[in-house]
């Protein structure tokens, strides 16, 4: 397959939270499509943090656009100049007060490659230790809890753990655990 060619790109919004462009694109068959809106965002991290007892560290917070409280994995935006691992370590500590001794990459995936430019970097964190209090941003009000795999799956079915990207990261983490268990 051949890629689309960008003929023109106009910035509609460019601020701390959002960079939105409207693009004019030429498709491989010569057709022109416009406007084509693209959201340019920084990459994100998700942390699949597993306690010694097998439970998974989750966070709960109000999500304004959905007007819902959502249960998710810890995570957030990779700040400029940070590596994905450093961002994952920072987000885990900020959102929960926990740090981990062992970290492993779980790979990357696109948030929405049709409209967004960013990727999600998944990390597995084990040997968790409470290091201190949460260090939340001014816009964050986060509670955290350790949930078992069946509890998370029940919350997915009940639409409480409802963000699709976090569900994908959870099942990717669960799959990795299954592979590691089968290797033993």
Q: Would you state the structure tokens that stand for residue 24, as one six-digit string?
A: 């004019």
The span from the CA of 134 to the CA of 93, in Å, is 7
The alpha carbon of 136 is separated from its chain's Cα centroid by a whole number of angstroms, namely 17
Could you report the per-residue pLDDT of 23-54, keeping only the tens digit for each?
999 999 999 999 999 999 999 999 999 999 99
Q: 76-133: per-residue pLDDT in tens?
A: 999 999 999 999 999 999 999 999 999 999 999 999 999 999 999 999 999 999 998 8
First-last CA distance in the chain: 41
pLDDT averaged over every residue in the chain: 94
Angle in degrees, CA 171, 175, 179, rounded to 5: 170
């Amino acid at each position: 397959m051949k890629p689309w060619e960008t003929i023109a790109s106009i910035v509609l919004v460019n601020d701390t939270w959002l960079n939105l462009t409207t693009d004019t694109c030429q498709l491989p068959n010569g057709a022109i499509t416009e406007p084509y809106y693209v959201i340019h965002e920084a990459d994100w991290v998700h942390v699949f943090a597993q306690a010694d007892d097998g439970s998974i560290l989750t966070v709960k917070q109000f999500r304004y656009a959905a007007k819902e409280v959502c249960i998710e994995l810890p995570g957030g935006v990779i700040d400029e100049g940070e590596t994905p691992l450093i961002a994952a370590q920072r987000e885990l500590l900020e959102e929960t007060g926990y740090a981990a001794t062992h970290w492993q990459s779980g790979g990357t995936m696109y948030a929405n490659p049709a409209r967004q430019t960013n990727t999600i970097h998944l990390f597995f964190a084990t040997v968790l230790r409470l290091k201190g209090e949460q260090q939340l941003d001014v816009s964050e009000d986060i509670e955290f809890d350790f949930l078992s795999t069946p509890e998370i799956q029940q919350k997915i079915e009940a639409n409480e753990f409802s963000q699709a990207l976090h569900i994908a990261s959870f099942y990717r983490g669960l799959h990795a655990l299954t592979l590691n268990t089968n290797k033993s």
